[in-house]
Amino acid sequence: MPAFDEAAALVSIPDAGAAAKARRRQDQLTKPAGSLGRLEDAGIQLAAIAGVCPPPVPEPAVVGVFAGDHGVLAEGVTPWPQEVTAQMVANFCAGGAAVNVLAGHVGAAVIVVDVGVASDLPAHPRLRSAKVRAGTANLAEGPAMTESEARQALDVGAQLAAELAESGTRCLLTGDMGIGNTTPSAAIIAALTGRAALEVTGRGTGIDDERWAKKVRVVEAAVARLGAGADPLEVLAAVGGLEIAALAGFVVGGAAARLPVVLDGVIAGAAALVATALVPECAGYLFAGHRSTEPGAAAVLEHLGLAPLIDLDLRLGEGTGACLALPVLQGAAKILRDMATFESAGVTEDHG
Give catalytic residues, as residue numbers.
Answer: 318
Q: Are 284 and 45 in contact (CB under 8 A)?
A: yes
The yes or no reply on residue 205 touching its own copies (CB under 8 A) is yes
- Residue 110: C-alpha distances to residues 152, 165, 187 (Å): 22, 15, 28
Helix axes 37-50, 16-28, angle to 10 degrees: 140
The yes or no reply on residue 110 touching its own copies (CB under 8 A) is no
Centre a 10 Å sphere on the Cβ of residue 39 and count the other Cβ atoms it contains. Answer: 16
Supply the minimum distance, in Å, between the C-beta of residue 341 and its own copies: 8
The yes or no reply on residue 230 touching its own copies (CB under 8 A) is no
The yes or no reply on residue 343 touching its own copies (CB under 8 A) is no
The yes or no reply on residue 352 touching its own copies (CB under 8 A) is yes
The yes or no reply on residue 106 touching its own copies (CB under 8 A) is yes
Q: Say if residue 231 is exposed, middle or buried (CB neighbours under 10 Å; 0-12, 13-18, 19+).
A: exposed
Query: Binding string, 287-326, against its own copies, x = CB under 8 A?
Result: ------x---------------xxxxxxxx---x--xx--
Q: Are 26 and 43 in contact (CB under 8 A)?
A: yes
Query: Binding string, 18-37, against its own copies, x = CB under 8 A?
Result: -----------xxxxxxxxx
**CA-based nearest residue to 322, from 282, 298, 288, 345:** 288
Q: Which of 17, 81, 142, 280 binds its own copies (CB under 8 A)?
A: 81
Which of these segments, 10-18, 90-98, 280-288, 295-303, binds its own copies (CB under 8 A)?
90-98
Binding residues for its own copies, rule: CB under 8 A, are: 29-39, 78-81, 83-84, 87-88, 90-91, 94, 96-98, 100-102, 104-106, 205-206, 293, 309-316, 320, 323-324, 327-328, 330-331, 334-335, 338-340, 344-348, 350-352
